[in-house]
Amino acid sequence: MVAALLILVVMVGVGLAINPSRQQFDWFLRLRRPAWLTFEGLIPLIWISIYACFYASALLCWNASWSWGLMGGYLGLLLLVQSYTLLICSTRSLANGTAVGLMGWVWGVALAVVIWPHSVAAVGLLIPYLLWSPVGTLVTWQMQRINR
């Protein structure tokens, strides 16, 4: 119970701490999107689902391993994922978002490989992120090209 609460508090804390200002985010919202991005309204729901899977994955991994090192791996992934929008908005550089998006995906794959021996179910819960992350990175890369 304590682990479940601690993981949740850390996730919410990171989510609240690493966000762009409203003014910075408004700049991001004004950027043009690729024409094929017709499902943008679903992106918040997609991310809520991914974060729920992160939470469940970290909890399963903790219960299977009791490893602070693996929890550090989850924290690293969370920091990379959460810093994507802040980095883009604070630097006004979509190239930075493309780079951090790719780094997050690579970190996620590495984390999945490392936690595999401890909990296959925890790895399964990382799959939604591992599938979505390349889509987000592609969108950012294409936005970079159309918003020069």
Q: pLDDT tens digits for 12-41?
A: 999 999 999 999 999 999 999 999 999 999
Reported as a pLDDT band with limits 50, 70 and 90, residue 148 is confident
8 A C-beta contact, residue 61 and residue 118: yes
Q: How far apart are alpha carbons 84 and 102 in whole angstroms?
A: 10
8 A C-beta contact, residue 60 and residue 119: yes
Q: How far apart are alpha carbons 95 and 3 in whole angstroms?
A: 37
- What pLDDT does residue 10 have? 97
Reported as a pLDDT band with limits 50, 70 and 90, residue 54 is very high
- What pLDDT does residue 118 have? 98
Q: What's the whole-number average pLDDT of the chain?
A: 97
Token digits for 85?
Answer: 């929008």
